[in-house]
Amino acid sequence: MNRVIVLILALTVGGCIDTSLPDLTLELGEGRTDGPVCGPETLQGFPPEQLRVTLIDVGQGDGIWIQTPYYENQQLESRNIIIDAGPSGSVPGTSPGGAVIIDYLLTNGLPPGERIDALVISHAHEDHYGGVSALVSMFDVGRYIDPGFTANSSGFLAARSAAEGDVSRAGGLSQVPAIPELATRPFVQTDLFGQYVESDLLWAADKPPSGNVTDPSGTDVNNTSVAFAIRWGGKQVLLLADLEEEVEQILVDADLAGEIDLTSAVMKVAHHGSSSSTSPTFLSLVFPNQSADEWAVISSGRRTFGGVTLPTEETLGNLKRALLPGHVLSTDNRDDLKEPGTEHGDDTIIVTIDADGTVLACYVP
């Protein structure tokens, strides 16, 4: 039983809990991405007039739950958006991302059969789409979005089919490819995140920018990713999926040309903290102020690719030079002593933005 369930049970039976923050060196170990621990006020409820972005710790992969603000009636006003569904767990060394996401949603207020307003699968890699079938078997989905590029993947096609079947049964909407079905082009506003949260589609492509569609590399597939900029309380959050340096440079050029403004309070770091993204040039535009409101969050497992462990030291170094100490959080924190495929569930990250612009990022204890 994970620690979130234990905490909720303790609250249910009326026991008093210690609201003080623990010694982070003990609670989080001597990890590379130590940071604040969420207090009870964050864990016990979702207050009105708050945007909440949760990076569910699915091990190596992405699974993001976005809850949009409401004023009076959460059920009617707030939207639940899921971006990516983690891995299936069928690949050796990976975690059962779909099951992890379902457990977290059920534990934190979404009952079985509840409607997920939209499911976005950023691109055709298994650590992003693997949990789709499990997720749609538990919840109804109102909208489904992916970039349109299948990467010749039968697994991705099966995941899309499962999602679109659930959307159809729920009387919902499939928007594939994301361009032009969700937005006519990059840098255009969308309605995906509801009436209170402004959102721009930063990127999506139905074929790689390289043009390689017959035998696409991992980089080719990553560079088709659906990515967003969302805004609430005067603060911006970048959700960059697995975009790599080629598209990152396109975004830099668009910022310098005045087409977009990359300045943000929070960035979901691209490609699990790989060195193929998150250049110093890009970071100088995203985080120009090194302020207390600026945070980087990474969705990663402690997995090694070709001898390189994500997030890389290079990327962490770039981020730590751009941000204040303790403002780089990763779902791989403390995972160095765990076996591959078992590193999920203990480093979920919650980001909150209040209507007055107050920003907090913290680990779920």
Span 331-352, mean pLDDT? 89
Domain for residue 9, yes or no?
no
Helix (H, G, I), strand (E, B) or coil at 164: helix
Average pLDDT estimate for 275-289: 96
Flag whether 10 is in a domain. Answer: no
Task: Summarize the confidence of residues 168-174 as an average pLDDT.
Answer: 96
| One-letter identity of residue 2 | N
Answer yes or no: is pLDDT of 29 > 70.
no
pLDDT, one tens digit per residue, over 39-64 is: 999 999 899 999 999 999 999 999 99
Phi, psi (deg, nearest 5) at residue 359: -120, 135
Within a domain: 99: yes
Integer Cα distance of 30 and 192 in angstroms: 39
What tokens were used for 146?
Answer: 């992916």
At 165, list the tokens.
């079947």
Question: What mean pLDDT is reported for the chain?
Answer: 90
* Strand boundaries in 126-226, DSSP class E: 140-141, 143-145, 173-175, 188-190, 198-203
Number of domains in the chain: 1
Strand partners of residue 188: 201
Residue 12 pLDDT exceeds 50: no
Instruction: Look at residue 108 and tell me if it is in a domain.
Output: yes
Q: Is the pLDDT of residue 18 over 90?
A: no
Q: Is 68 helix (H, G, I), strand (E, B) or coil?
A: coil
Residue 107 phi, psi dihedral angles, 5° rounding: -70, -25
Q: What is the pLDDT of residue 2?
A: 38
Q: Which pTM does this prediction carry?
A: 0.91
| 22 within a domain of the structure (yes/no) | no
Sign of CA dihedral 290, 284, 277, 147: positive
pLDDT in the model for residue 125: 97
23 falls within a domain? no
Residue 28, domain member (yes or no): no
d(CA 95, CA 322): 31
| Domain with 154 in it | 33-363
pLDDT, residue 11, reads: 29
Q: Give residue 334's pLDDT.
A: 77
The rounded percent of the chain whose pLDDT value lies above 70 is 91
Q: What is the DSSP letter of 151?
A: T
pLDDT for the residue numbered 144:
98
What's the pLDDT band for 32 if we cut at 50, 70, 90?
A: confident
Residue whose token pair is 């509840």: 114
Asked whether the predicted pLDDT for residue 289 surpasses 60, the reply is yes
Diameter of the chain by CA atoms?
60
The bridge status of strand 64-67 relative to strand 115-116 is unpaired
- Kindly state the average pLDDT of the residues 135-139: 97
pLDDT digits (tens, 9 = 90+) for 216-248: 999 999 999 999 999 999 999 999 999 999 999
User: How many Cβ atoms are within 10 Å of 256's Cβ, its own excluded?
Assistant: 12
Residue 277 lies in a domain: yes
Q: Tens digits of per-residue pLDDT, 71-97? A: 999 999 999 999 999 999 998 888 999
CATH code for the domain of 305: 3.60.15.10
Q: Is the pLDDT of residue 169 over 70?
A: yes
Which tokens go with 43? 């864990």
Question: Going along the chain, which residue ranges are E strands?
Answer: 50-55, 64-67, 80-83, 115-116, 118-120, 140-141, 143-145, 173-175, 188-190, 198-203, 227-232, 235-239, 266-268, 295-298, 304-305, 308-309, 328-330, 349-354, 359-363
Q: What is the reported pLDDT for 337?
A: 81
30: its two tokens: 């001597």
- Note the pLDDT of residue 30: 63
Number of Cβ within 10 Å of residue 261's Cβ equals 14
In this prediction, residues 132-159 reach a mean pLDDT of: 97
Q: How many Cβ atoms sit within 10 Å of the Cβ of residue 15?
A: 8
